Structure 1
Amino acid sequence: MLGLSVVILLLTDASAQEMKGETLFEEKGCALCHKMDADTIGPSLRNIATVYAGKETELLTYLKGQGTPIVDPSRASVMNPQLIKIRTMFEEDLHAISTYIINSNR
């Protein structure tokens, strides 16, 4: 019974983290350039999620402005103003955004 409670708690926490990430993604203006299934100004969320699958640490590093992009590096300079804006966010908020992005490929 305790094991099931822990699993439910973890799933609830992960779901809450993803919902928070989606909210922050919208609030910080990320959705203006990143659509779920279509490449527009930036690559689609599904494309980002596919490329960064299993590499959430690299995505977090990039969002902090400390890493190099691995999704369409030739267009990455368009993201620089946004990186300046978001790199000062709390680690937990950046983690929520990266969780949302990574899980958008489900």
Structure 2
Amino acid sequence: MPTASSALYVPEVRNARYDFESKTFRDAAGGQLLDEDLAEWSFEHPGSRKAGAGLATFKRGLLVGTLLRQEGGSRLAVLEQILREPREFVENGHLTGIFY
């Protein structure tokens, strides 16, 4: 889930999400968010540095936040996929480097 401070300083975070089907990040209108778009949030919004938010932080927050908003059955299906093929999920899902 996006941290409260990143959502406070970068309003776009509130409505952005990770699309598990296409394995891409999406904005409120459904447009794809590329790494460049997410990284711009760090530079465009002075408060994002206060929130300690960079590209990996935004990606991690959007992924977890989306997962938490999923309904029970679909959340379990996503978790099962992640556990079954973690490397593929990270590499093909544009998630490399977001976890410690």
Higher RCO, 1 vs 2 (CA within 8 Å, ≥6 residues apart): 1
The structure with more helix, counted as a fraction of residues: 1
TM-score (norm 2): 0.31
Larger of the two Rg values belongs to structure: 1
TM-score (norm 1): 0.30
